[in-house]
Chains A and B, each alone.
Chain A
């Protein structure tokens, strides 16, 4: 239960906030607008040292080394993928000569475009449904006090302690009884609710300005209309960050698709696994397929980097 509540404070004011215990952390957010700038560096305040001064040189060196370790394997994947197959074993650290042969080979050998489209649809469905279920549940938890609230919330917190591997056999049997083995529906169904998303959103909603809810009620809105006309529009940045994160997690999910899709290669995680096994040492083709499998995530990251980092760092979850 300590998971979310200790999430690193990203707001300038929160250093002075009462972090008095995992349960009752109330972030002093006054308006959701304060949520808007994910991961901005509020730590400028720490900077009594001017950037560029000599004292930061060792820090730069350290960070450059760390960045190189992080990026080199990915760089190498692209370099190998874009080389002609005959040059796959080249040790030249620079890219080139450029060739698309590996990609052509992958496209010819496996229906990777279809896999990508299927996986995209699966991840999008999951992200949207998890968001929807979480919006409803967190609103219910944050807005009212009711009998059994604590016990019901404990169901969500407690689900953290149930590793998926422990329940995979009954889940598999249930999906199999529904006749959904080797279908994307079978992959999606057990994951429609993310307890984690409920907990994240509840935190945001607890910090939602009460005055707005009061005002909305005085205007005669029902709780349902308040949710969609007042709460959701104001939470847009938080919802976007969470949605992106859920999408990426769904895309990268491996265990469940690999169990359910044993006889189908409709999803990228499973489809490519077979290809990698069959290609052995054909590293150019393997790297081309791998880079295609990461492509959507890279695109999201390039355009929405701040949201992505913010969502994951706050949550600390995959």
Chain B
């Protein structure tokens, strides 16, 4: 949209105070966008795309990450192995469950909260939002420590309350049945406020005229919510859902590493933590890379489908 600037400029150039030879300018202009973009592109190629190619490359080899040991080309052996590993199945199931949990906590719940609380405005609203957002900013080492303390079997607040209510609980992080719940609670605590703020911002952008008009036409509050507000919110909701699906595994990674190490018995692991374990615990670069390549393709496919769907489903206010 800025191309038009080139038009008047060439007309003015000869008389302009810059005094550059007219024939030099177009050439410089042709090069300059590339020069501005160069640093970013180089960094991206070196640290994202070249490594991506390397990962695909490594996925066909057997190598233990020791520089002096030669890589051995093993065809698709690593893919066959990784697909048959029960750890992978467990990690895939867990990742799916994490995504479902966070679709609830960072999309559905925030929608409910934002809709129910939209009548609160002004200073009070700003104050609530400021508080609700704080957990999102807590660094993972601290948030895992805080919740380990809250859940501590001895002296922890939550087991104390549970015991007072007559439902004593053990160590939530050490029990295979509850270790995932622990991770979900911690990460959900961080993401909930973020979701509420995103949905509220979306709500704030919807013109009240629609609701007013519908109300004059005799629409009930419920009809207005379901037929007008939620469709108009769909861009925000689609955005949050896509983030949740693509990033849940990344959100949970630090907490898994800090609070449960994926255990006990892989009960709380996820696909990215598995990549870490394959690569930096078992030193099997091929296995980690094969799994990584598969996850990359899988998420890429999901993202494309999602973008396509959102184009069709989103309801735009125009």
Interface residues of A (CB under 8 A from B): 1-3, 6-11, 14-22, 26, 39, 41-49, 51, 55-56, 58-60, 62-64, 66-67, 69-71, 73-74, 76-77, 80, 88-89, 91, 133-134, 136-137, 139-146, 149, 152, 155-156, 159-171, 173-174, 176, 189-193, 195, 198, 206, 210, 213-214, 217-220, 222-223, 248, 251-252, 254-255, 258-259, 268-269, 272-273, 276, 281, 283, 286-287, 289-291, 293-294, 297-298, 301, 305, 308-309, 312-314, 316-318
Contact = CB atoms under 8 A, between A and B. Distances in A.
The 8 A-B residue pairs with the shortest CB-CB distance in the complex, in nearest-first order: A140-B36, A89-B155, A170-B51, A193-B43, A170-B54, A8-B201, A9-B205, A43-B204
B194 A10 contact: no
B143 to A, nearest CB: 8
B242 interface: yes
Nearest to A52: B124
A137 B295 contact: no
Tell me the interface secondary structure of chain A in the complex: helix
Contact of B150 (A7, A20, A73, A248): A73
A195 to B, nearest CB: 6
Contact of A163 (B5, B242, B299): B299
A19 to B, nearest CB: 5
Interface-central residue, B50, B138, B279, B296, by most chain A CB under 10 Å: B138
Nearest to A142: B2
B2 A16 contact: no
Tell me the interface secondary structure of chain B in the complex: helix
B303 A46 contact: no
B149 A254 contact: no
A195 B47 CA distance: 11
B73 interface: no
Contact of A73 (B135, B235, B272): B135
Interface stretch (B26-34, B74-82, B96-104, B173-181): B26-34
Interface of B: 1-5, 8-9, 12, 16-18, 29-30, 32-37, 39-41, 43-52, 54-55, 58, 65, 67, 113, 116-122, 124-126, 128-143, 145-147, 149-150, 152, 154-155, 157, 160, 189, 192-194, 196-198, 200-208, 212, 235-236, 238-240, 242-243, 246-247, 249-251, 253-254, 257-258, 272, 275-276, 279-280, 285, 288-289, 292-293, 295-296, 299-300, 303, 306-307, 310-311, 314, 316-318
A15 B317 CA distance: 7
Nearest to A143: B2
B32 A317 contact: no
26 contacts: A1-B307, A2-B239, A6-B235, A22-B310, A26-B1, A51-B120, A66-B128, A70-B134, A71-B131, A73-B189, A139-B36, A161-B303, A165-B275, A165-B295, A166-B292, A167-B51, A167-B54, A173-B65, A189-B47, A192-B43, A214-B9, A217-B5, A218-B16, A223-B29, A252-B140, A317-B243
